[in-house]
Structure 1
Amino acid sequence: MKKNFVLVIGFLCLHLAAFAQEDTAQDPPPNTVEQQFIDVVDGSNSYQEFKVIKKTEINGLRKSVLDSIKALETNIDSLNSQIGAQKNDISKLQTDLNTVQQDLSLSKQKEDGIEFFGVLTQKSTYNSIMWSIIGLLVLALAFFIYKFNNSNKVTQESQLKLAELEIEFEKYRQKAIENEQQLGRKLQDEINKNRKG
């Protein structure tokens, strides 16, 4: 039991020592160009009002600055390429959008219109034309029915008058035949009288 207690206390001490070292150890400052300038200027010697900087440090700083500039130029070129590609994409999308809008406008015109004798007309115009034609046809039909009824009435009246004339003619003919027969009898009577007498 005493042995376990010593082990636990030893483990706790080691753990606390490691934790304390982690707290005291700070992350090294980032190695940026600005930090390198600070390190070079602060780490250099002073002579009167001048700073004396070692050639190796200034050359290292120059190399870092040139590398940073080159990396930035590469990044700028890459970003410019991306911008160019995005501009091309935007241009293509704008063209596609214009095409879609034209197709949509044409579809709306076709939806709102009807092709009539090969010409796309609006539905309201088409309806007006069709109802006008139907109205004219109904008027023409009414006119022809009226004319037909009048003609039929005139024909019936003419046929009735013709039938009446035929009846009158038949009566006249019979009367004429009767008169002719009577005249014939009278003539025969006269002839007979003249023969006898």
Structure 2
Amino acid sequence: MKELLSKYLVVFILVIFSASTFAQTTSFEAAFDTLTIKDQFEHLYKRSNTFEVYKVMSISGYNSLKQNSIDSIRQYHEEVSDHQQEITTLKNNLRSTSSEIENLKEELASTQKAKDSISLIGIPTSKGSYNSIMWGLIICLAVILLIVVSLYKRGHQIVKETKTRLTEVQEDLENLRKNALVREQKLARELMDYKLKHKPSR
């Protein structure tokens, strides 16, 4: 009879212990699901028994905390790896963007230079130099035009004066010719008169 009671007692204690362990494990797992790792340590510490200067913790609680810590560390490693990949991608994008910006700056400088320069006889020249050259040519042409106009006017005046003098000389020559003709006719009459006067008689 005592042996039978002892067996029942042992079975009862084992059932109670198993139920308590299962309940505690369930309690730990339920509590750990909503707590951070730090709070899980605090929770396990508070739920552990004290023996002198030691804390006697539940194995199931320890295992849950350990597994949760490992899972958290693994998750942190994965997040760190993901972040590193994102950082690498961002660095590559930044390098690519910087390269594109440099290319755009060079194209802009080239475009600005082309915009500010004009081809003069196949030689690229800045707009300022081009304007100076053009104004210099215009001024030179204007001076040459003034000189040509002045020379033309002077030549025209000389030609006009020459024509006037030529006309005067022609008139003088015509007068001289007429006078010479008159004198010649006069001399011819005088000679004829002289011959008639001094004609020998027969």
Q: 1:121, CA displacement in angstroms?
A: 1.2
Q: Which ranges in structure 2 are unaligned for 5 or more consecutive residues?
A: 1-29
1:41-190 mapped onto 2 (5 Å cutoff): 41-118=45-122, 119-122=124-127, 124-190=128-194
Contact 1:110–1:120 under 8 Å retained in 2: no
Give the counterpart letter for 1:102 in structure 2: E
Contact 1:40–1:57 under 8 Å retained in 2: yes
> Secondary structure in 1 aligned to 2:194?
helix
Q: Tell me how many residue pairs correspond in the alignment.
A: 170
Q: Which runs of 4+ in 1 moved over 6 A?
A: none
Task: Name which structure has the greater RCO, CA cutoff 8 Å, separation 6+.
Answer: 2
Give the alignment's TM-score, normalised by structure 1. 0.72
Partner Cα distance (2:60, 2:31) in 1 = 22
Give the counterpart letter for 2:167 in structure 1: A
- 1:4 alignment partner in structure 2: none
Q: Which ranges in structure 1 are unaligned for 5 or more consecutive residues?
A: 1-26
Partner Cα distance (2:195, 2:99) in 1 = 124
> Secondary structure in 2 aligned to 1:51?
strand
- Identity, % of aligned pairs? 24
Contact 1:113–1:121 under 8 Å retained in 2: yes
Give the alignment's TM-score, normalised by structure 2. 0.71
Structure 1 window deviating more from structure 2 (92-101 vs 169-178): it is 92-101
Partner Cα distance (1:141, 1:170) in 2 = 42
Q: 1:148, CA displacement in angstroms?
A: 0.6
Q: 1:89, CA displacement in angstroms?
A: 1.9
